[in-house]
Structure 1
Amino acid sequence: MKKFVYMLVFIMILIVTGCSNSDEETSENVNTENNEEKTDVAANNNQEDLSTEQESQGNGDTLEVEDASQDAFEVPDLQLQVSKLDEESGVTIESSEVYSYLEEVIMADPKGGIPNDFSIYPDELVLNDDGTTSLLFIVINRLHAPIRNISFELTLGNQDGDSIFEGLEVSLEEESFGIIETDSAVPFLIDISPEDEEIYMEITEENIDLRMENYDVDLIE
């Protein structure tokens, strides 16, 4: 699994209930370690996806795991989109090592995501300049219209019962995240503890438990 050390500007656009809710800009620089095992759910064709299919019963909506390869060739190639705050700070795909890396991930799997749906993928561990660690996620919009103001409860762990997040409330507001165009992908970060980092390093495509529940998203028709 690859690990990043950030020294360039990258926006932590995630507001997580129970954590510090700040849209601060973080200095970051990417330093990849080639000898570490890479678990890249976003870049593999066999990755686990989260579907926005509604459950017929229950108090909220639930995203269920589906096969991203279904109808893969019927969708346009993905486009990487810079977050609103990053763009306002002058960050571009070409000027940021992080975005350049994500561009390579998307180019390796340009048909990623679920047709007529939106999904998220955990990607890489990030070492922040203050010594803390974050987990890099990618949001993919394959809906028929742009989306904004996304909120959901996130569960991530393995099928043996070890959890990194369990029902974590996540909010990606338009003022920080911007509007995600159709057939586009945008990154975001969530802080994790050293113990959670160890759990993530052991997660594979076969044992991952990834769920997005009670979601809400604004469609821009």
Structure 2
Amino acid sequence: MKKIGFMLLMVLLIIVSAACSNTDDMNENTTGDKTEPSEAQQENDDQAEDEADDNGETLTLQLLKADEENGETIEGHNIYSELDQIVKDNPDMGVANDFSVFVVNAIYDDEENAKLLLLAINRLPDPIKNLSFNYTLGTEDGEYVFENQHVTMDEETAGVLQPNSTFPLVLSITPEQDEVLKKIDENNQVVKIEDFEFETE
């Protein structure tokens, strides 16, 4: 397995995300089922576009393998279709020659359980799979959403993330973690990714 200092989280009850020696600014999360970018997120869009100017490739939203096998489509799925619009509005999102994570917002299920919704973006030249790492996300004041949490993404469930592609990552959080998440912004965030490993195709 190759090792890189990345940042990663995970989707639809998988876990993963990464950014090689470089973490994207945390975006203020919003509530509800909508995945529209927040004001802080839109500021980060501009920064991400600047960083990705040399990518030369438009970003493409990719279904998770498990969702694809279950017959899901981007157009027919509420979250995927809204994420697809975000990707189309920000085709240069991501960090050139790197893997990065873009925080979209917090979403809630019918029972009001919170989940953190993200986009994992692969701007590396190779497809990547079977990822794992220890993830910390919090504030400079010492409040943490996650602290050294081990996260994994296996090929069987998530599939292979192609170059210049992105897919959604979702990580369940408690009400207490959700409150900390709402306090995080680009000026006070603490993000650490340690022991990151991945395989290439």
TM-score higher than 0.5 = yes
Structure 1 match to 2:86: 105
TM-score w.r.t. structure 1 length?
Answer: 0.71
Deviations 1:158-203 (A, max 9, x none): 2222110011100000010001111000112111111111111122
Identity of aligned residues (%): 31
Q: Secondary structure at the match of 1:106?
A: helix
Moved more, 102-111 or 79-88: 102-111
Deviations 1:112-162 (A, max 9, x none): 111111112222112123332111121111111111001111111122221
* Bigger relative contact order, structure 1 or 2 (CA pairs below 8 A, ≥6 apart): 2
Q: 2:34 aligns with which of 32, 35, 40?
A: 32
Task: Give the alignment of 1:92-171 within 5 angstroms.
Answer: 92-171=73-152
Give the unaligned 5+ runs of structure 1. 1-9, 16-29, 48-67
Contact 2:35 2:105 (C-alpha < 8 Å) held by counterparts: no
**One-letter amino acid of the counterpart of residue 174, structure 1:** E
**One-letter amino acid of the counterpart of residue 85, structure 2:** E
Residue 111 of structure 1 deviates from its aligned partner by 1.1
Q: Secondary structure at the match of 1:135?
A: strand
The answer to which structure has the higher strand fraction is 1
Residue 32 of structure 1 deviates from its aligned partner by 3.0
In structure 2, how many angstroms separate the alpha carbons of the residues matched to 1:187 and 1:42?
20
Residue 72 of structure 1 deviates from its aligned partner by 1.9
In structure 1, how many angstroms separate the alpha carbons of the residues matched to 2:121 and 2:43?
10
Aligned length, in residue pairs: 176
In structure 2, how many angstroms separate the alpha carbons of the residues matched to 1:79 and 1:32?
20
Q: Which has the larger radius of gyration?
A: 1
Structure 2 match to 1:189: 170
The answer to which structure has the higher helix fraction is 2
Structure 2 match to 1:46: 47
Contact 1:39 1:123 (C-alpha < 8 Å) held by counterparts: no
C-alpha RMSD over aligned residues: 2.6
**One-letter amino acid of the counterpart of residue 109, structure 1:** N
